[in-house]
Chains A and B, each alone.
Chain A
Amino acid sequence: MKEFNIVLAGVGGQGILFASRILGTASIKEGLNVRVSEIHGMAQRGGAVISNVRIGENVFAPTVLDGRADILLGFEPLETIRNLKFTSEKTFILMNDEAVPPPELARTQREYPSLDEIIKKIRRFTEKIVIIKAADLALKAGNILTRNVVMIGALAATELLPVKTESLREAVMELVPEKYLDMNLKAFDSGYNFVKERKVKV
């Protein structure tokens, strides 16, 4: 495999950096070359967060080139739209439907667009899109903060990744502190089963 590109996008606090670290760690476990690019510091404070994971022998640059994402993992609908320039008709999008309204909307007395409108926009780029209620599944697993692991579990179930589901689970086990591990594995499985049960074709 020469290169496989994943863009993760959402809002500070949604656990995007941790999700990308799971993907990176799983890649290392399989002996693959990988780059995980993150944003820290000021840019994180409630702002838009984006992380890139690039896997493969030809990978040097830490960032994904426009139009070249294999997967866009959208943690928030508007942030998914904000990162559509990385997609093409070949890109698979897994999107969490959890809206986090940007304060600009309240200030300018505008409303958050409907999910239908958002999906319509996304479909102009790619038809391959699956919507997931990651926050609900995370709450069921025990804590909304596990939404990132729900997303990774769901992504594993698509079987699009160049890393095995088992490696991703192992990465979760390695990175999550003991006391939160059960909750996170539950979150992983609920995301995984969500996609498997729906027999999502991608």
Chain B
Amino acid sequence: MFSFHLLLNVIVAGILLGGFYAAVSLGITLAFGLLNVVNIAHPAFVILGSYAAFVVNSRFGLDPILAGLLFMPVFFLLGIGVYRIYYASFEKRAEESLRGLVFFFGIIFIIEVSLSLQYGVDYRSVHAAYVGDSFRLGPIELAFRLAIPCAMALVLTLALHLFLSRTFYGRAVKAVSQDHLALRLMGADPVRIKGLAFGIAIATASLAGALLIMIGPVEPSIGREYIGRVFAIAVLGGMGSIGGTLVAALILGVLESLTSTFYGPSWALAVSFGILLLVLAVRPSGLVGRAG
């Protein structure tokens, strides 16, 4: 069964899958890793993004990726709004740990029920000329359905990395995760900065949702299946590291792919989570996180 051609293609499939995982996990890294906001509703926002792409694609025939990009500002504003409520109701009163979690559980249900009522519970898909086709690069076969999400994830990762490292607001987001008071002394409003960062986290869900619905059909509650995996990637990546998230997602993608092909798909998740435990045992701060 083993051949170099198969190995090469399986690794590439894993990289493509990892790229998609990165797109879904970046929002968690921002919210959970940098802002300390345990937004377990992130996958539900991703599904909301999928439905936004579905509606625009089915009604106007717009490309799903373009739809995902177009909806990013809307999701950004939605994220700011959600954070404002979260801040006023929980964070401000230092009640965010458990009650905040319940708040995000509530958001999951609101999103799922709203989507069910509006669009029903049937599976939804998008149509694009390239979905279902593949192309060849030497011995490697690449499916557009996975290659495009991976490319978009890389662009998104790079954009977020540049934003966080090269811009004033980006640096402020990093600073807010480390020292609220110091940021306030520098004349910046931590709540506003956190709102901005949370808005960006939710904006990534718009694009991630469009990528998800390209890969496979979605229904309102399908986001729950991703909660464990995206948090695992954020933790493995080093909680707050954009580059680390990409590396962790690629590692998980490749491991899943290799295990599925050469050992059996039942073990794919077990091996991935086993590696997560192993890494955390050796490096509790994750792959790219700062030690201590």
A and B co-occur in one complex: no
Q: Which residues of A contact B (CB under 8 A)?
A: none
Q: Which residues of B contact A (CB under 8 A)?
A: none
